[in-house]
Amino acid sequence: MDAALHHPSRPTSAMLEDLIHALDGQRVSVGELIDHLDARAYGLLLLVLALPMCVPNVPGISTVFGVLMLFPALGMVVGARRLWAPAQLRAKEIDGEVLRRTLKLAIPALRRVEYLVRPRFALLTQFPMTIAVGLQTLLMALILILPIPFANWPPGMTVAMTALALLQRDGLLMLLTIPAAMISVGSVYFGAYVGLAAINGAVEWLQHFWR
């Protein structure tokens, strides 16, 4: 993609529209997605992976996209300039229509908020601060991988905020991801509590039924 695509003054919604047009196949490989985004565009890649968590999506996609998030997160932690992914992961395919539909659903909401995002306190979005950002994103990815009910939306929103902060060099927004990450961790406890309560209720009902 053109270098101007990643210029911080360019609206993120416009970047996503370009990506939708570029990924026009029925199936999109992870390698193709990474190559279209440019291996250095951690922010845009994280946004693409986080947005499906923020809108109604295909069940089970959070686990797949959570695994994919691990690589840009680790890349930021080690300060890598280019994103690396193993060949087996690059070969994995995603339904292109589902991905494009998800991005199209997210663009109107993104346009409503992106005017608030602008370059400020840019040092908070650059190395070495991105080490802490990567660690936080790594935690959010691990939460998404866990099969916990009601726990996808908060970490998805946190990563989306992180991605916007990286893309537009907005350090203030990056600071706001810290309380968002705390809420995400709390969602794990809430989701686990609800899940265990449902399982216990089902077990008690079955025991009562068979008496």
Distance CA 22, CA 36 (A): 7
Computed from CA positions of residues 187, 75, 90, 27, in that sequence, does the dihedral angle turn out positive or negative? positive
Of residues 131, 185, 149, 120, the one with CA closest to residue 60 = 149
Which residues is 102 bridged to in the sheet?
none
pLDDT at 149: 63
Residue 131, Cβ neighbours under 10 Å: how many?
13
pLDDT at 188: 78
pLDDT at 43: 83
Listed by start position, the domains of the chain span: 3-210
> How much of the chain is helix, strand and coil, in % rounded to 5?
75, 5, 20
pLDDT at 196: 63
How many residues are recorded in the chain? 211
pLDDT at 167: 85
Rg (Cα) of the chain, in Å, rounded? 18
Backbone angles phi, psi at 84, to 5 degrees: -110, 140
Computed from CA positions of residues 16, 17, 19, 25, in that sequence, does the dihedral angle turn out positive or negative? positive
Distance CA 68, CA 159 (A): 13
Give pLDDT tens digits along the chain (211 positions): 444 444 445 677 887 888 888 777 778 777 777 777 664 467 888 888 888 777 666 556 777 788 888 888 988 888 877 777 777 777 877 777 877 887 888 788 788 887 788 888 888 888 888 899 999 999 999 888 877 766 678 888 999 999 989 888 899 999 999 999 998 888 777 766 666 666 666 666 666 666 6
Whether the CB-CB separation of 138 and 70 falls below 8 Å is answered with: yes
Between CA 15 and CA 29, with CA 77 as vertex, the angle to 5 degrees is 45
Whether the CB-CB separation of 124 and 166 falls below 8 Å is answered with: no
